[in-house]
Chains A and B, each alone.
Chain A
Amino acid sequence: GQQLNQSPQSMFIQEGEDVSMNCTSSSIFNTWLWYKQDPGEGPVLLIALYKAGELTSNGRLTAQFGITRKDSFLNISASIPSDVGIYFCAGQLGNAGGTSYGKLTFGQGTILTVHP
């Protein structure tokens, strides 16, 4: 099946620093999603990307859909302690309503620790 490689696996940063993480795939995806998971909770959607080259922001978060459709990037600017958690990328293959049935392939996650 499809595999997503997410890096880095973990990051330890100081409050106020910027953060970058990325996801690469051997397959082309038509949708890229970025989720955050707090301890003991389910993942929550941060940003969704639907078109190659698309750059989308959500507050201090910015994500990009790679031109090749095989990668995506997430940046967090001016990190704060509540940014702590696990960040997951997820890719979806087909167009919605097609045979993909909305199924997502997840990366392994990036564990972010922010020191005050």
Chain B
Amino acid sequence: NAGVTQTPKFRILKIGQSMTLQCAQDMNHNYMYWYRQDPGMGLKLIYYSVGAGITDKGEVPNGYNVSRSTTEDFPLRLELAAPSQTSVYFCASSYRPTGRTTEQYFGPGTRLTVT
């Protein structure tokens, strides 16, 4: 299993451009999450999905959109990129959290700079 994969690893955007960060998992996990990590800060949840076709906002959703057409893929879309979106973005997945199974597996991250 490749686990959680993310592309690209690095990207520089100009203000106002848009892009899609790709995330895929091959563990047949129902739940998927997008986080952003700013320097000196913990991870903040942007969006999450509990299954194909179902998504919901996290703590910091403004400026982002997501879709979940398949179990495996959970792309994050940035429209009209702004400098405040400069961050490292992590995708994570887990089985449906039941009882003690709450472990989230993280991808390697995408480092995005908006100038």
Segment 72-116 of A: residues with Cβ below 8 Å from B:
88, 90, 92, 96-97, 100-109
Asked if B92 contacts A106 (CB within 8 A), the reply is no
With contacts A4-B42, A108-B40 known, is A42 near B31, CB below 8 A? no
Asked if B43 contacts A103 (CB within 8 A), the reply is no
Tell me which residues across on chain A come within 8 A of B108, comparing CB atoms.
40-42
Binds A, one of B12-20, B44-52, B67-75, B77-85: B44-52
Assembled-state Cα–Cα distance A109/B47 (Å): 21
Please report B residues at the A interface, Cβ cutoff 8 Å. Answer: 4, 31, 33, 35, 40-45, 48, 50, 56, 58-59, 90, 92, 94, 96-109
Please report A residues at the B interface, Cβ cutoff 8 Å. Answer: 1, 4, 6, 9, 31, 33, 40-45, 48, 50, 88, 90, 92, 96-97, 100-109
17 further A-B contacts with Cβ under 8 Å, apart from A45-B105, A101-B31, A103-B58, are A9-B40, A31-B102, A42-B108, A43-B106, A45-B103, A88-B42, A92-B102, A96-B96, A96-B97, A102-B94, A102-B97, A102-B102, A102-B104, A103-B33, A106-B43, A108-B42, A109-B41
